[in-house]
């Protein structure tokens, strides 16, 4: 095999790896918190647990980077502190591909600022609504989870 053939083979191999490297870039997610209809400060960090390990991810100006291994996870537990509550919710790793998240917290379901009251009889004070939006999909999706919110002590 001559040098030109080797060069071509190496070049083709390198080009075949480019798409997988590009896909492994972290996703930048913006997280907003709305409590009783009012925008509140975003948490300073989130903790994510998946595939047997945990990561603490800092937020800067309401934004964080979701690493590729997190996006690939099937089940993720997300924890953070917001508005005097400890939030613990379960989402899919694929949710981290959505660029804009809104965490909605409310004390009552019948207010205008809580778009959907959740299942009948849900304790809204202990529930979380996480809205996912992306420039790649329309409309966004809503994740509602009961018993995901506890007062910090």
Q: What is the pTM of this model?
A: 0.78
Q: Is residue 19 in some structural domain? A: no
Q: Is residue 11 in some structural domain? A: no
| Residue range 10-15: mean pLDDT, rounded | 48
| Residue range 124-141: mean pLDDT, rounded | 85
| Residue range 2-18: mean pLDDT, rounded | 51
Going from the C-alpha of 131 to that of each of 22, 24, 91, 103, 135, the distances in angstroms are 27, 24, 12, 6, 14
Q: Give the CA radius of gyration of the chain.
A: 20
Residue 101 lies in domain: 25-151
| Phi, psi for residue 147 in degrees, rounded to 5 | 60, 35
| Residue range 27-36: mean pLDDT, rounded | 93
**Mean residue pLDDT across the chain:** 83
* Total number of domains constituting the chain: 1
DSSP for 13-80, please give it: HHHHHHHHHHHTSPEEEEEEEEETTEEEPPPSEEEEEETTEEEEEE-BTTEEEE-HHHHT-S-EEEEE
Of 2-6, 30-34, 48-52, 138-142, the one with minimum mean pLDDT is 2-6
Residue 19 pLDDT > 50: no
Q: Is residue 10 in some structural domain? A: no
Q: What is the pLDDT of residues 82-131, one digit of tens each?
A: 988 999 999 999 999 999 999 999 887 765 555 566 677 788 889 999 99
- % of the chain surpassing 90 pLDDT: 53
Q: Is residue 42 in some structural domain? A: yes
Q: Is residue 81 in some structural domain? A: yes
| Phi, psi for residue 134 in degrees, rounded to 5 | -150, 150
């Amino acid at each position: 095999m001559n040098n030109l053939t080797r060069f071509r083979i190496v070049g083709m191999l390198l080009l075949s790896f480019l798409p997988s490297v590009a896909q492994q870039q972290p996703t930048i997610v913006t997280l907003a918190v709305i409590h009783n209809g009012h925008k509140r400060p975003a948490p300073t960090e989130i903790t994510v647990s998946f595939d047997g390990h945990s990561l603490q991810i800092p937020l800067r100006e309401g934004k964080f980077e979701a690493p590729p291994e997190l996006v690939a996870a099937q089940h993720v537990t997300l924890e953070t502190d917001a508005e005097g509550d400890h939030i613990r919710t379960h989402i899919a790793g694929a949710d981290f591909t959505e660029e804009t998240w809104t965490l909605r917290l409310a004390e009552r379901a019948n207010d205008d600022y809580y778009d959907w009251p959740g299942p009948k009889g849900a304790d809204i004070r202990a529930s979380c609504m996480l809205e996912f939006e992306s420039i790649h999909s329309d409309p966004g999706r809503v994740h509602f989870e009961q018993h995901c919110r506890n007062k910090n002590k």
